[in-house]
């Protein structure tokens, strides 16, 4: 993996991530994953 995790164009990447966030922001359906609940419980220990 050496050198394969580099994002060559950070600006373009962050724009795409921002666009994805904006398009999903109003979605209120679904459930919180149990994975996140388990992480929260472990972090409180």
Domain boundaries, the chain: 10-43
For position 34, what pLDDT does the model report?
79
For position 44, what pLDDT does the model report?
73
Q: Give the residue among 7, 4, 27 at the shortest CA–CA distance from 16.
A: 7
pLDDT 10s digits, 29-40: 988 777 877 777
For position 26, what pLDDT does the model report?
93
Scan for tokens 């209120």, then name that residue: 28
pTM over 0.75: no
- Which stretches in the chain have pLDDT values below 70? 1, 45
Task: Classify residue 9 as left (phi > 0), alpha (psi -120 to 50) or beta.
Answer: beta
For position 14, what pLDDT does the model report?
97
For position 5, what pLDDT does the model report?
83
């Amino acid at each position: 993996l050496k050198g394969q995790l580099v994002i060559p164009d950070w600006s373009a990447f962050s724009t795409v991530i921002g666009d994805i966030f904006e398009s999903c922001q109003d979605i209120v359906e679904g459930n919180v994953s149990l994975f996140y609940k388990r992480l929260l419980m472990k972090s409180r220990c």
